[in-house]
Every structure is written in C-alpha cells, then in structure tokens.
Chains A and B, each alone.
Chain A
Amino acid sequence: MSLRDCRNVKVLDVVPVGQSKRPGDFFELVLEYPGWGGWKPGQFVMVRPVSWGPELVWGRPFSICRGDEKSLTLFVQRVGRGTERLSQVLPGEDVTIWGPLGNSFAVEPETPTLMLAGGIGIAPFCGYIERHAAPENLKLFFAHRMPLECYPYAAMTQKAQGQNMLEAQPEDLAGIIDQMGALIREYADGGLVLCCGPTPFMKTAQRFALEHGARLQVSLENRMACGVGACLGCVCKDEKGHHTQVCTKGPIFWADKVEL
C-alpha cells in the first residue's frame, strides 16, 4: 500500500501567531491527523478546503510543520487569495488533503547541521528539529522581516541552537548575507547545510556553498497545480538544464544539482 493518499479531514483549529501589520497574517492550521505515520521532514501536503468549490481550482502546497497521531499542523503566511481564504476556515470544516508529497531533507544525526531559514521558510525546520535524533547538533539561522513572535522560532530554539537577524530595513540585508557566508564556511568542513526561504535567499546560500564547497540542500516552492508530478507546472531546471518536477523530484534538491 502506498504511503500517500487523498482524504477529507476536519479543521481542528486556526491559531494566529504573533502580531504583524494585519491580524492573522501568520497562523497555524491544525488539521485532523490523516494517519500518515511515515512523513519525513521537508515533505509537503496539498490542502484544499471543500468550501472553495470551483472558484479556486488548485490545492495549495505547505510543508508539514508538525504531525503526531492526533493532528497535522501547517504554518501559513497570508499572502494571496488561497492563503487569505485558508485563514478564514473554521474548526469543523472539511479540508481535502493529499500527501505526504515529495522527498525530504537529509538527516545525519551525528553531523553538525545548519538550517538556514528565510521568513516562512522556517516551517519545514519545525518538523526537522522535532524528528531529529540529536537536536544538539542542529543550529537554526533565521532571517526575517516580521517580528520574531510571528514565527514558531521560540519553540524551535528550545531544542536546537538558534540565531536570528531582523531585516527591518534594506541596509540590514548586507549583514544577513555576510553572516550566511560566515556560517556556511563554518559548516563546509564535514557539516550539512539546509536552506528554505525566498529564492534570492536560497541563491545566496547556493553561491556561498559552491564557493566554500559546503554540502547544501535547498527546498524549492514553485506554484503547482497537482502536487503529484502530472501537471508539469512546477518545474525547475536541473544541472543539465532539463526541466524537472519540483513536486516529485524535489522539493529538496542538492544545491549543485539545480538552477535557482
């Protein structure tokens, strides 16, 4: 039997996180657990509330943030029509979900591992830290534009070492880039680096990793319609310049095997 499936689950809760410009810009969507015992950190799920009807045709992809035998939690930032409508679902509503989808981050418990997260890209690292056998070997570097309380950072750094930098104004960016470069260089010798965030953020990480010879994985998030490898709407270019599906061949790629 396949590990993947599609089913309707109930919304258990919608929990606002932090205070940004608009209330509810960041929230946790807590769903009934679909029974996926085997999900791995870095995998994602497609989510589509039944109440959307035909108006919004696609599900939306979200990294799995947390999952136990009772619930599945996704961390969402409200940015477009889909996440806007998703922020309005109510406990008890039916949501269609399919997954767990895609591949997962490398896990090497004994290897010093650096997680580079940019903004909402912090989401998959929640599950990574929770499921890691030796979180004392993990360090989270988090670059963000909204107040830190908008993200699940505090809970994550109870288990793993953390460092965060706020990009409050454009001038802050240079400092963030310098720090990323220094950290990647530090982990180049025998370490593992994982990155999830906006494309420019991951491009910067890729550049430093190639420069310093660090082993880096990046988690891509392209617009996708199906999530199962059929629509070919989410492709990226691999190292040979061929289009390859982010949903099934990724979303995690080794940084030297993908064009960003």
Chain B
Amino acid sequence: MDMNVSVGGLQLRNPVMTASGTFGNGLEFAPYGDLEKLGGICVKGLSLKPREGNPMPRIAETPCGMLNAIGIQNPGVEYFVRSILPSLKRVDVAVVANLYACDADEFGELAGILAAEEGVHALEVNVSCPNVKEGGAAFGQDPSQIARVTESVKKRAGNTPVMVKLSPNVTDIVECARAAVDGGADSLSLINTLLGMAVDARNRRPRIANVVAGLSGPAIKPVALRCVHQVCRAVDVPVVGLGGIASAEDALEFILVGAHAVQVGTANFLRPDFAFSLADDMAALLSDMGVESLDEYRGSLVLPL
C-alpha cells in the first residue's frame, strides 16, 4: 500500500513521525531499527543558546502515562547544526527541527538559521511547552501570540514548511489552530502534553521538582483525539496527530478523525524499536479492513446523524 503523505509541503514516505523530546536526535535509536523506516523525525527542541533544563527530578510515571518537566534541555542550535545535523543528513528520512524561543523575534532568528540548512526539511514551532516559565505555555494559550510567532517564523523560513505545535491546555484549541493558520502555518501538530501533577503521599512532596509537569502517554489519547477531530473540521491545513499512540490501531484512529500523519512519543519509551514497524502495521491493518489507501480512510469517521 502506498503510504506516502504530504503534510503542508513536507513529503513523508509514510505517516509515522517521532515526536520531539522523545526520540533524541534520532541517532540514539539507530541501534534499535532502521531510521529510514520512519516517515520523519522531529528532533529534540532547539533554542538559540544552550539550555540546561529544569532541576531533577524531572520525570514521574503515572498510570498509563508519564509526567515530564525536562525544560528544553539542549545544546543550542549552533551545536546541532555543526555536530548533529551532518550525521542526520546521511539518513534518508525527513528531519523536522523543533524550535523553542522566548519571543517572536528569537523564533524568527532560529527559523532563519535552521531553514538555511540543507537536511532540515521542516520546522515545528513549539508554542506549547508547559515546562518553561518564559515563552512556552504563555505563547500557546494566547491566539494572538501564536499568530505573531508563526508570522515571524514564516518570514524567515523561506520555502521550508512550517508546522505549529499546539497545546491542549487551552479553553478552545480551535481558536489557537485558526490563529496559527492565520499566521501562515503550513500544518499543525497536536497535542503537546497536558498539565498534570504527581505527589508522594508518604513524604508529602511533589514527585517533580517543577511541581507541575506535562502528562503524556496512553492516558491522554482521548483528549488528543478530540482535539484533532475538532481542529481537522475547522481548518484547511493538514494536521499531525499525537498523544498516546501506542499501537497501529491508535494511529489509525487519528487518521480516521482527519489527521494526515501521526507522531509517536511516549511509546518510544515502552520499547525503543516501537516506531520502526508502526507504518507497516498500519498498512497491514488497513488491508485487513479492506481499505485501499490512506486517503480513502482519512477523515472517514461516521458521525451520528
């Protein structure tokens, strides 16, 4: 089955991408599978300057999910371009650079640097990280800021497609999606993590140093599906769905409600080879259902009258 998809100008050999923050720069997972079996890799969030991230502890396990407050730890864009991208370029897979910045101008500057690099096939604008005080959640919850950041990135991105990653921690995600599209987004990815918390009843302490953190994993899939369903019906740009995908059937549910592609996040931690077989498993499941193409299946959810 032809699993090729186009996501707002980004060409993918199949609809399976790995979500930023859960797959390193991709190379960490090379021992566990063929990176060229993936549709794309969204690399760990990048900022202009290196960031140390948040204090420890930063992660906690919860039923069917996990909390994280890593805080965009990364070596900075210059190091990425100089020391990581050359290795990634040798792999025939779409590379999506995930951008994090504190203001719209900085987002634009970062976009300009990365879009100029051969081997960066798209930019994913992270306006939805809940784990940083500056930028992050503040951008993601304000539609006018989302539009402003997106415009700034688009101005500097040239022909490189721009995907905007949205937060579920808002009253109306459709309003945020429209703002991103108004700002020029070529596609959207949703959802980022839900704000959550875990505490230790015995020692009366939060389990994460940041106190609140981002919840991911199978626990959030119903929220993610709802968001993707609502946004796909409201905007004309392609949507990439993510949030709790842990099987081929999970992934197809996102396609069914209208997503063009999916991203796999926390499931990469269930086992490091999880993402590599997902596209084949999706194709097999579609064939079992008698479906001849992804396009035929996409958005074919039958709603009650």
- Interface of A toward B, CB cutoff 8 Å: 2-6, 48, 54-59, 81-82, 96, 98, 222-233, 235-236, 242-243, 248
Interface size of B by CB at 8 A reads 35
Output the least CB separation between B30 and chain A (Å): 7
Across the interface, do A57 and B271 meet the contact criterion of CB distance under 8 Å? no
What is the CA–CA distance of A225 and B60 in the complex, to the nearest angstrom? 9
Across the interface, do A225 and B31 meet the contact criterion of CB distance under 8 Å? no
What residues of B have a CB within 8 angstroms of the CB of A59 in the complex? 269-271
- Interface of B toward A, CB cutoff 8 Å: 21-24, 28-32, 44, 52-53, 56-61, 63-66, 68, 70, 73, 217-218, 246, 266, 268-273
Across the interface, do B64 and A55 meet the contact criterion of CB distance under 8 Å? yes
What is the CA–CA distance of A230 and B27 in the complex, to the nearest angstrom? 9
Across the interface, do B61 and A228 meet the contact criterion of CB distance under 8 Å? no
* Neighbour of A225 across the interface among B30, B32, B63, B66, CB < 8 A: B66
Across the interface, do B65 and A232 meet the contact criterion of CB distance under 8 Å? no
Q: Assess A57 versus B32: contact at CB under 8 Å? Given A225-B59, A231-B269, A243-B52.
A: no
Output the least CB separation between A233 and chain B (Å): 4
Across the interface, do B59 and A57 meet the contact criterion of CB distance under 8 Å? no
Q: Assess A242 versus B246: contact at CB under 8 Å? Given A57-B65, A230-B23, A233-B68.
A: no
The 19 sampled A-B contact pairs (Cβ below 8 Å) are: A3-B31, A48-B270, A54-B218, A55-B64, A56-B61, A57-B64, A57-B66, A57-B218, A58-B269, A82-B61, A96-B270, A225-B59, A230-B44, A231-B21, A232-B44, A232-B70, A232-B73, A242-B52, A248-B28
What is the CA–CA distance of A59 and B21 in the complex, to the nearest angstrom? 18
What residues of A have a CB within 8 angstroms of the CB of B273 in the complex? 6, 98
Across the interface, do A230 and B22 meet the contact criterion of CB distance under 8 Å? yes
What residues of A have a CB within 8 angstroms of the CB of B32 in the complex? 4-6, 98, 228
Q: Assess A223 versus B59: contact at CB under 8 Å? Given A54-B218, A242-B52.
A: yes
Output the least CB separation between B248 and chain A (Å): 14
Across the interface, do B271 and A96 meet the contact criterion of CB distance under 8 Å? yes
What residues of B have a CB within 8 angstroms of the CB of A6 in the complex? 32, 271-273
